[in-house]
Structure 1
Amino acid sequence: MRGASPRPQLRGPGVLHQRYVRRAAAPAVAVAPAPAAGAPGLLGSGSVVVAFIVLLFVCQLALLMEVLAPARVVFRSLSFGTSLALLGLVKGPRLDHLAKPFLVASAVFTALNFFHPGTTSPVAAAAQLGIQIAVFAPFFWASRLRIDAKMFSRVVLLLFLFNMASASLGILQVTFPGRFQPNLSSVVEGQGEGYVRSLQFETASGARVFRPMGLTDVPGGAATGAFYSVLLGGTFLLSRQGLSRKVLGGVGIGIGLICLYLGQVRVSAVTLLVCMAAMGLALTVSGRWVRLVALASVVGGLAVVAFGWAVAVGGDAVLSRWSTLTASDPSQVYQSNRGHFLESTFEEVLPEFPLGAGLGRYGMANAYFGDNTYREHPPLWAEIQWTAWAYDAGWLGIVCYPVALLVTLGWGFQVARRREDSPGEFWLWGSMLFAYDLGAIAQTFNNQFFMSQMGMEFWLLNGAFFSAYWNRNAALHPHRR
């Protein structure tokens, strides 16, 4: 809280590379020992993170209910609006990560596009800027909260359980056709019958089903839950929090892999492979060979079993879909699916809009608030995040935001490579975040990750972990300033 004893600036060998962390100079503020001031208020405790994650889940589930369809825009906007509100409401000392200035710069350059001739709707422009700030706002307000290792573990567990539930439902949707199917997104239906049919496949039983949606309204949407079920499940598998957490982690890995195979979203599988390799790298450099072997053995073994299960349920469609990954060069597979969007961003979009294209011309902001009556400034389409960055701020935006991501990725790796086994298992959470962050960066080449709820979860986790790590160091070294 403001007025409470701020967390000290730590120095010395027990503190993570100070080049990743800055504190604004404030001579008038006294630095007192460790977090011994009274308990933080509601808006200064880690409970805010838990409540916000629950809100994200509620908003996502509300989109699946047909009775709430008229209020769809409300539920889509609620989580973003709450994130912006917490930026001003959350109290606590400000610990500045080196990534924050780059995020602020990205927002400033985006805001300058208010004055671009291509900005035809002030409301859509404000919505576009608001979405971008709301997505990374949790990194700022979560780092002010009084979070410890136990609270951070609880946050990760909550995310894991929700994603595992989505993956489990996805498996049921394919195994029992029609019994657990949510309403199809109106956006998908609007693409035409041919496109909708392409999102279906024939199972081993002869039934024609959509790719598993899980707790989404988009065919294949369960792949996201499957991806995080495996990644976060691997973390709990390696944890020392008890046998029940290890078993839960193993179950989550198995469920996630089955759902991932049934979903047939190849980019998610490739990204997951990269993330697991990243976690393996973190375990290797920190000398945790036993855990590395355990992770590889469990994930590898379950991957084989899960594939057999998925083929038995999904039939030849599943087998033939995954065989395409080895039938051709991975780069060619990406180029034929998403690669041309990245290519056109650098060869066409940036030369045409070096400083941005104006605000509110694509995505959710344009769909709800855009004015598309101007022929000289028609609506734009952004399939991947790099195109979105180019539209919002041109070269300046396409440099600042990725730099912030790389700095955040590097900070997590520095925590992961530390060899001591501290009570809070920060090396484990750092390994998870390193893999998680790398996966998020990979997703920018596939979709608009940082214009969505997933982007908010990314910055929320990183902000919460940053706070937890600082609080741990402040408690261990109260004399350091």
Structure 2
Amino acid sequence: MGTGGGFLASGQLVPLFVGLLMVCQVVLLVEALAPLRVVVRVLAFGISLLMLVLVRGRSLAHPALPYVMGALGVTALQLFNPGTGAPLAAVAQVGIQLAIAAPLLWVTRLSLDLRTFRRTLALLFLFNAASAGVGVLQVYFPGRFQPALSSVVSSQGEGYVNSLQFETTDGQRVFRPMGLTDIPGGASTGGFYAVLLGGGFLLSSRRGPYRLLSLGGILVGLFSLYLSQVRAMAVMLAVCLIALAGVLALSGRLGRLLALLAVIGTAGMATFGWAVAVGGGAVMERWSALFESPPEDVYQRNRGYFLTGTFDTLLPEYPLGAGLGRYGMVNAYFGDPNDFERPSLWAEIQWTAWVYDGGILVLLLYPMSLLASLWWAFRVARSREGPEGEFWLWGALLFAYNLGALALTFSYPFFMSQTGMEFWLLNAALFSAFSHAKTVHAHRR
């Protein structure tokens, strides 16, 4: 657990770290700091690596840790793969992946309690609800709250940029809401967190103002998500909510289940009608396309062929990995565009990235870490004995979130982004808080 004293042994480092990630995200929207974009993006991961050095003590053995460390070890060996590109890009990729998984090591060295964990979730909820709210304002007041478009997006050409816009019912042509990001549709991430975490706080809060705030976040989050038209994020949210409802049902907590279904169901229908009234036919057509064919056909047309190509073509070509620094933002920022022997690769989904990172070994190890995280969260959700407090509720929420993250690996490289780092942060934080509470509970008995 923690080393016993000092701020660097305090659980308050976790919400502080989340706050720093939020600051980095907002700084990216300041046009005057555009020349420092690469520095700011790297800083978010650098802080996680710094915590790994500064926070001393013994890490707790989260069930996912052996699999994640194994996958990282295999990826690090790619430094010796002949296919590895520019040395700086290769080192940066190893560093970023270590930073993403680092919370499993440094967070579990801290003495967290349930209150600190809730405070961390509250920060994430408020920031993402604000991002979803800004996304709504971007549609209602075109151009007024709009950040500069990401250079990565704008470099794709006018046709691609135009495809990220839609026409509202009052004739205005707007980007899909970005929220507090610089990517059209980015507000969907804020909407997802606002709804999922809002649901958790709605079920756990006993004070009226907190419940109203949670409900407001759910409404704004759903509305923003519909306007963003990012169907992968909506599917992830649906998977999470179904999983959360399933765990509540299996645990016999029917009152909480009915409350969740009533609020989310009513809010979902009301905000969809609201989104169509604002976004018009573009919003209706985008979402109705999800139900025009069987789910497997819809996925195959949109992302499924990337998954098929990963196993049918890329895995046989790169059974032991393709080398480092050849895809994603690492390649864009640090790669060598003149290296024609090791051209850039494209990873649209996480499974493709895993093949590039280490072939069959990473393709087995990293998903095993996700399954281990799912199983542990499920056990906490089903528990009725042990530490005091509503750990079961946050275990259920984390189980739902983990399952949604696993689903999202089929849509984009989840674990090559800041969202992947937040995934391991939340899992490590609840594991640390639960382990600490179990120790205290055992001593009291």
TM-score range, shorter chain: over 0.9
Alpha-carbon distance in 2 for matches of 1:2, 1:297:
41
Give 1:15's aligned residue.
none
Spell out, residue by residue over 1:52-110, the C-alpha distance to the aligned partner (whole angstroms, 9 max, x if none).
11111111111111100000111000011111111121123321112111111111101
Alpha-carbon distance in 2 for matches of 1:476, 1:449:
36
* Alignment pair present for 1:201 and 2:162: no
Spell out, residue by residue over 1:292-320, the C-alpha distance to the aligned partner (whole angstroms, 9 max, x if none).
00000010011111011111111121112
- Asked if structure 2 preserves the Cα contact closer than 8 Å seen for 1:150 and 1:424, the reply is no
Give 1:315's aligned residue.
280
Alpha-carbon distance in 2 for matches of 1:258, 1:94:
41
Question: Which residue, out of 348, 370, 388, partners 1:383?
Answer: 348
Give 1:189's aligned residue.
154
Alpha-carbon distance in 2 for matches of 1:381, 1:3:
43
- The TM-score with structure 2 as length reference comes to 0.97
Alpha-carbon distance in 1 for matches of 2:109, 2:279:
47
Secondary structure (helix, strand or coil) at the match of 2:166 reads: strand
How many corresponding residue pairs? 445
Give 1:257's aligned residue.
222
- Asked if structure 1 preserves the Cα contact closer than 8 Å seen for 2:129 and 2:194, the reply is yes
User: What aligned pairs does 1:123-162 form with structure 2 within 5 A after superposition?
Assistant: 123-162=88-127
* Alignment pair present for 1:359 and 2:303: no
C-alpha distance 479-302 of structure 1, shift in aligned 2 (>3 A): closer
- The TM-score with structure 1 as length reference comes to 0.90
C-alpha distance 173-123 of structure 1, shift in aligned 2 (>3 A): same
More helix per residue: 1 or 2?
2
Question: Which residue, out of 100, 103, 108, partners 2:73?
Answer: 108
- Asked if structure 2 preserves the Cα contact closer than 8 Å seen for 1:287 and 1:419, the reply is no
1:332, distance to aligned residue in structure 2 (A): 1.3
Question: Which residue, out of 338, 341, 357, partners 2:303?
Answer: 338
Spell out, residue by residue over 1:436-461, the C-alpha distance to the aligned partner (whole angstroms, 9 max, x if none).
11111111111111111101111011
Secondary structure (helix, strand or coil) at the match of 1:298 reads: helix
Structure 1 gap segments, 5+ residues each: 5-39
Secondary structure (helix, strand or coil) at the match of 1:477 reads: helix
Give 2:406's aligned residue.
441
Alpha-carbon distance in 2 for matches of 1:267, 1:108:
30
Alpha-carbon distance in 2 for matches of 1:161, 1:47:
18
* Alignment pair present for 1:452 and 2:425: no
Give 1:467's aligned residue.
432
Alpha-carbon distance in 1 for matches of 2:421, 2:75:
18
User: What aligned pairs does 1:276-355 form with structure 2 within 5 A after superposition?
Assistant: 276-355=241-320
What letter is aligned with 1:70? P
Give 1:477's aligned residue.
442
- Asked if structure 2 preserves the Cα contact closer than 8 Å seen for 1:421 and 1:427, the reply is no
C-alpha distance 328-107 of structure 1, shift in aligned 2 (>3 A): same
Alpha-carbon distance in 2 for matches of 1:351, 1:293:
48
What letter is aligned with 1:64? L
Alpha-carbon distance in 2 for matches of 1:217, 1:225:
13
Alpha-carbon distance in 2 for matches of 1:165, 1:377:
42
Spell out, residue by residue over 1:345-366, the C-alpha distance to the aligned partner (whole angstroms, 9 max, x if none).
1111110000001111111221
Alpha-carbon distance in 2 for matches of 1:476, 1:53:
28
Secondary structure (helix, strand or coil) at the match of 2:443 reads: coil
What letter is aligned with 1:363? G
Question: Which residue, out of 101, 117, 137, partners 1:172?
Answer: 137
Secondary structure (helix, strand or coil) at the match of 1:161 reads: helix
Alpha-carbon distance in 1 for matches of 2:292, 2:6:
58
Give 2:34's aligned residue.
69
Structure 2 gap segments, 5+ residues each: none
Over the matched positions of the two proteins, sequence identity in percent amounts to: 59
* Alignment pair present for 1:58 and 2:23: yes
Alpha-carbon distance in 1 for matches of 2:22, 2:387:
32
- Asked if structure 1 preserves the Cα contact closer than 8 Å seen for 2:388 and 2:441, the reply is no
- Asked if structure 1 preserves the Cα contact closer than 8 Å seen for 2:176 and 2:184, the reply is yes
* Alignment pair present for 1:245 and 2:202: no
